[in-house]
């Protein structure tokens, strides 16, 4: 069984922001694989069971704010007895151009507060990340926080939309073909 977690912030205010790209990918996966989310107060979020190919999966969206995602993720791993090595986390990444995705396994948080929280609460960095590029704000125009909590710029919105689809496909590929093959396939795309 795999735990697939899309990161974002709860509430209508943040619904279509760049920081919620993990939620967008989770919603796409739920739609493609007929997973229905239910609210769980104990897990502090929304989760649903399903299958991707032959693999049982738990798809989740924590309702804790991004910087506190670790608690809900740790709870779900413990509740379902899933090792961290079977955790896939989908999140935004300012260091990647809009629309690009990168799959990585382990390593540091690279400054992403949601990933920092998960590493701290789970006790290991050894899980898979699907990083979805959102780019950086134009120099001198806005802060990083203001940028990630805003919507995609008009010239990036189509790239971001395609990235949601590509990220969803990368998760399915990881589950059916393994992480290494998915990395080889998706990390080389231009």
Three-state DSSP at 86 gives: helix
Q: Say if residues 111 and 168 touch (Cβ distance below 8 Å).
A: no
Tracing tokens 């710029």 back to the chain, one arrives at 153
Tokens at residue 154, please? Answer: 């008009």
Question: Which is catalytic among the residues 2, 3, 18, 19?
Answer: 19
**Active site annotation includes 19:** yes
Backbone conformation region of residue 120, classed left if phi is above 0, alpha if psi is from -120 to 50, else beta = alpha
Q: Say if residues 87 and 72 touch (Cβ distance below 8 Å).
A: no
Q: Say if residues 94 and 144 touch (Cβ distance below 8 Å).
A: yes
- Within the chain, how many helices (H) and strands (E) appear? 6, 7
Is 127 within any annotated ligand binding site? no
Q: Side-chain half-sphere of 78: how many Cα atoms within 13 Å?
A: 11
Is 79 within any annotated ligand binding site? no
Is the alpha carbon torsion for 65, 70, 71, 73 positive or negative? positive
Task: Tell me the β-bridge partners of 183.
Answer: none
Is 14 within any annotated ligand binding site? yes
Q: Say if residues 88 and 132 touch (Cβ distance below 8 Å).
A: no
Binding residues: 14, 65, 67
Binding residues for tRNA: 14, 65, 67
* Residues classed as catalytic: 19
């Amino acid at each position: 069984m795999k735990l697939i977690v899309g990161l974002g912030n709860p509430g209508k205010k943040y619904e279509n922001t760049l920081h919620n790209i993990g939620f967008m990918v989770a919603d796409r996966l739920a739609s493609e694989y007929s997973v229905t989310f239910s609210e769980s107060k104990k897990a502090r979020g929304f989760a649903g069971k399903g299958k991707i190919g032959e693999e049982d999966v738990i798809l989740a969206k924590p309702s804790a704010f991004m910087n506190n995602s670790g608690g809900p993720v740790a709870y779900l791993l413990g509740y379902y007895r899933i090792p961290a090595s079977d955790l896939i986390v989908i999140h935004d990444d300012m260091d990647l151009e809009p629309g690009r995705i990168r799959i990585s396994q382990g390593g540091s948080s690279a400054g992403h507060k949601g990933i920092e929280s998960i590493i701290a609460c789970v006790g290991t960095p050894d899980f898979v990340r699907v990083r979805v590029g959102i780019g950086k704000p134009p120099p001198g125009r806005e802060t990083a926080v203001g940028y990630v909590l805003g919507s995609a710029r008009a010239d990036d919105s189509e790239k971001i939309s395609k990235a949601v689809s590509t990220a969803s496909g990368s998760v399915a590929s990881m589950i059916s073909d393994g992480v290494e093959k998915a990395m080889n396939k998706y990390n080389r795309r231009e």
